[in-house]
Amino acid sequence: MSAPTVTDLRAYVLRGGGADYHDQDGPHWIDDHIATPMARYPGYRESRQSFGLNVLGTLVVVAEASDGSSGFAVTTGGEPAAWIVEKHLSRFVLGAAVTDLSRIWDQMYSSTLFYGRKGLVLNAISGVDLALWDLLGHVRAEPVYAMIGGAVRDEQPCYATGARPDLAVELGFLGGKLPLHHGPAEGADGFTANLRLLAEMRATMGPDAWLAYDCWMSLDVDYAIRLAHAAAEHGLRWIEEPVPPDDYWGHAAIRKALPPGMLLATGEHEATRWGFRLLAEMGCADILQPDVGWCGGLTELLRISTLADAHGLLVVPHGSSVYSYHFAFAQHNSPFSEFLMMAPAADRVVPMFHPQLLGEPVPEHGRLRIGQLDAPGFGVTLNPDLALARPYRRG
């Protein structure tokens, strides 16, 4: 049997929310004085956009096949990732059988080792890989979750990330993950303010709902351990990404010193099986959180997940909407999912990648149902009203 071949691969860029969910206009909880490693510089403390968190924008990769099928994916990476896709990666894709995902991934990764391995290049590789999975799903008229082994559960419970874990509980979520607002540079006052908000949330949510802290790489080992112990009385379920991703030793030290029952989660800024091998073997985490749009795409996420399972670790992907949902439904060690509350006040459920995807499923009463994913590929279409720009052309 000969499979259709890939006849075209194009990279576009987009501004304004969506896959680059930090690229928001106007007041939004996601840019409201969140603790970051840049907070040691007071001028960059108030807003993450002030130091360029939204500088990249969304990357859209579109792939077409000889049978007339097409697929696409969105991730971050913007113009520089579009250049990498068009000028470098496209050579490994054009003319390939639509089934050649492993060979294409290995060639994209191996050929970019001299300037890649993590970050932007892996954003670009992820975008191509996800577009090819979507294309294969359209060629086969199958949802992605079915192509990777099928669903292991009918419903997927979700927790909500955002400024209002209390409202998330009312909306039916398992609980909420709160962004930490103050880091070590804001001293004892900041430490106290962090705990005051946590206590308020716990008081409103009741004793049983999940409550976690997302520290976005902002702490040091000492601060993280003190914060975790002070937060234990408020039932903190996990502390997330307490130190920068290159500090594997710091993650391991913090995890060892956590109060009984509290978990460490990390990995959204990590990439490939080799990065996650370090996290697993060094005892850095209890929950691994690869972002399928950043870690190397679905092809690599499946390898990361197998490695994690052998270490007894959960894999709960970071954000990523449908790209995560198809994966999570098919993995026994991914028993719940993250949902990013992208309403500016985190007070209602809106599609995570709005306005870029049409047909994007959202949790109802905090749960996704497998029937919401029953469409070819990742089951979404690219909004035709978007102002797509194609800044580079291959060749």
* Beta bridge pairs of residue 367: 157, 364
Annotated binding site for substrate: 22, 48, 338
Place of tokens 């924008």: 57
* DSSP state, residue 318: -
Among 7-15, 162-170, 191-199, 206-214, the segment contacting Mg ion (CB under 5 A): 206-214
Residue 4 or 293 having the CB closest to Mg ion: 293
d(CA 344, CA 356): 17
β-pairing, 287-288 with 263-266? parallel
Residue 132 or 314 having the CB closest to Mg ion: 314
DSSP character string of 17-60? STTSTT---S--GGGSS---GGGGSGGGSS-SGGGTTTSS-EEE
Residue 109 or 159 having the CB closest to Mg ion: 159
**Active-site option among 318, 326, 332, 354:** 318
Among 3-11, 63-71, 127-135, 212-220, the segment contacting Mg ion (CB under 5 A): 212-220
Residue 120 beta carbon to Mg ion: minimum distance, rounded to whole angstroms: 19
* Beta bridge pairs of residue 337: 158
**Longest C-alpha distance within the chain, in Å?**
67
Q: Does 300 bind Mg ion (CB under 5 A)?
A: no
Residue 162 or 366 having the CB closest to Mg ion: 162
* Beta bridge pairs of residue 62: 10, 72
Count of residues in contact with Mg ion, rule CB under 5 A: 1
Residues 355 and 334 sit within 8 Å (Cβ to Cβ): no
Question: Which of 329, 313, 315 has its CA nearest to residue 363?
Answer: 329
Name the closest residue to Mg ion (Cβ). Answer: 214
Which region, left, alpha or beta, applies to residue 361 given φ > 0 means left and ψ of -120 to 50 means alpha?
A: beta
Among 37-45, 95-103, 213-221, 349-357, the segment contacting Mg ion (CB under 5 A): 213-221
Contact residue for Mg ion among 20, 214, 270, 338 (CB under 5 A): 214
Indicate if 311 belongs to the active site: no
d(CA 204, CA 224): 24
Among 56-64, 142-150, 208-216, 344-352, the segment contacting Mg ion (CB under 5 A): 208-216
Annotated binding site for Mg(2+): 214, 240, 268
Give me the phi and psi of 143, to 5 degrees please: -70, 155
Residue 340 or 373 having the CB closest to Mg ion: 340
Bond from prior residue into 260 cis (ω within 30 degrees of 0): no
Residue 100 or 291 having the CB closest to Mg ion: 291
For residue 130, give the amino acid letter.
Answer: L
- Taking each helix axis from N to C terminus, what angle separates 297-310 and 272-281, rounded to the nearest 10 degrees? 20
d(CA 349, CA 159): 12
Residue 119 beta carbon to Mg ion: minimum distance, rounded to whole angstroms: 16
Length of the chain: 395
83-102 residues near Mg ion, rule: CB under 5 A: none
Annotated binding site: 22, 48, 214, 240, 268, 338
Residue 318 beta carbon to Mg ion: minimum distance, rounded to whole angstroms: 6
Looking at the chain, list the stretches that DSSP marks H as alpha helix, in order from N- to C-terminal side: 78-87, 101-111, 119-140, 144-147, 165-170, 187-205, 221-231, 248-256, 272-281, 297-310, 321-329
Residue 86 beta carbon to Mg ion: minimum distance, rounded to whole angstroms: 30
Residue 394 beta carbon to Mg ion: minimum distance, rounded to whole angstroms: 34
For residue 235, give the amino acid letter.
Answer: G
Among 13-21, 69-77, 214-222, 250-258, the segment contacting Mg ion (CB under 5 A): 214-222
Residue 33 beta carbon to Mg ion: minimum distance, rounded to whole angstroms: 16
Tokens of 214: 């997302």
Residues that bind Mg ion (CB under 5 A): 214
Which residues are part of the catalytic machinery?
A: 318
